[in-house]
Amino acid sequence: MAATHLLIGAGKMGGALLSGWLDSGLIPPRKIVILDPAPGPQAVYAIERGAKHITDPADIPRSVRVVLLAVKPQLFEKIGEPLGAVLSPTALIVSILAGTSLQKLDQAFGGRVVIRAMPNTPAAIGAGISAIYVDPNIAPETILIAENLLKSGGEVVRVDSEAALNAVTAVSGSGPAYVFHLVEALEAGAKDLGLPADVAAKLARETVIGSAKLLDASDESPATLRKNVTSPNGTTQAALDVLMGEMGLSKLIIAVVRAAFARAKQLAE
């Protein structure tokens, strides 16, 4: 069975998407080639099941038709053009690199169809959200191939400008880190009140997991679910007076996503 799909960079995000391909049965392992000098655990699992592992771009099979590019943006500067020289001229390139513009990608992969996407790590368990931007001239069947690569990791939305991908990166690409830090912060708050470390960690973790599951299962908005916790003049009200006050979380999160957005734009320069 000739390999058709190439993953370049099988680290945290490339590996997460690779897990989705295998778990959903979208691509059989024998059709996958992994180019990475130090593949992560999901890639090792795929290689054990028949995916081909290479470390030299010269070994990329000519049969490869679809490429998922998932190396660090800084590395792309070095390996982009050499890759362009060896890939099939008809290969479709899907790039998940933060802030790496289509213009830069086209310089390396000129003549090939290139689609930019921004996934997130919950894709590893099929609970991700990805956004893609596609040039309006790209054929629907080609777009479908790119969407399917991401759909095995969760939901996919389309944005209508390349610039919007930098905002997506700041919100959902980096977003899981904000939520995990919320767990860390809640744990710190629990310890500050004198709870034992193991109890603090469990309370924080299960509160975030349970709230996310409730949000997922409920038809109510996040605002209604928040109000459902809040008794007039009760404890939650006292907390929300701080959380939603003058220097509250909304202002902080707006500053947070703006910082990520600025960095994504900087990477594109």
Ligand X SMILES: O=C(O)[C@@H]1CCC=N1
Q: Which residues bind ligand X (CB under 6 A)?
A: 98, 169, 173-174
State the binding site.
8-13, 70-73
CB of 42 to ligand X, least distance (A): 16
Contact 85, 110 (CB under 8 A): no
Bridge-based pairing state of the strands 52-54 and 32-35:
parallel
Token couple for 221? 């908005």
Should residue 73 be labelled a site residue for ligand NAI when binding is judged by CB under 6 A? yes
DSSP 12-65: HHHHHHHHHHHHHTSS-GGGEEEE-SS--HHHHHHHHTT-EEES-GGG--TT--
Nearer to ligand NAI, 9 or 29 (CB): 9
29 lies in the binding site for ligand NAI (CB under 6 A) = no
By the 8 A CB rule, do 149 and 203 touch?
no
One of 97, 150, 171, 260 touching ligand NAI (CB under 6 A) = 97
Short-list 213, 180, 186, 182, CA closest to 199: 186
Q: List the one residue from 71, 129, 132, 134 that touches ligand NAI (CB under 6 A).
A: 71
Instruction: Determine, following the binding rule CB under 6 A, whether residue 28 of this chain makes contact with ligand NAI.
Output: no
DSSP string across 103-132: HHHHHHHTTS-EEEEE--GGGGGT-EEEEE
Asked if 14 touches ligand NAI (CB under 6 A), the answer is yes
Minimum Å gap between C-beta 78 and ligand NAI is: 7
Please choose, out of 91-99, 184-192, 194-202, 253-261, the segment that lies near ligand NAI by the rule CB under 6 A: 91-99
Binding mask 215-244 for ligand NAI (x = CB under 6 A): ------------------------------
Using an 8 Å Cβ cutoff, are 250 and 244 in contact? yes
Closest separation between CB of residue 36 and ligand NAI, Å? 4
How far is it, in rounded angstroms, from Cα 236 to Cα 207? 14
Q: Which residues bind ligand NAI (CB under 6 A)?
A: 8-14, 35-40, 70-73, 75, 79, 96-98, 118-121, 173
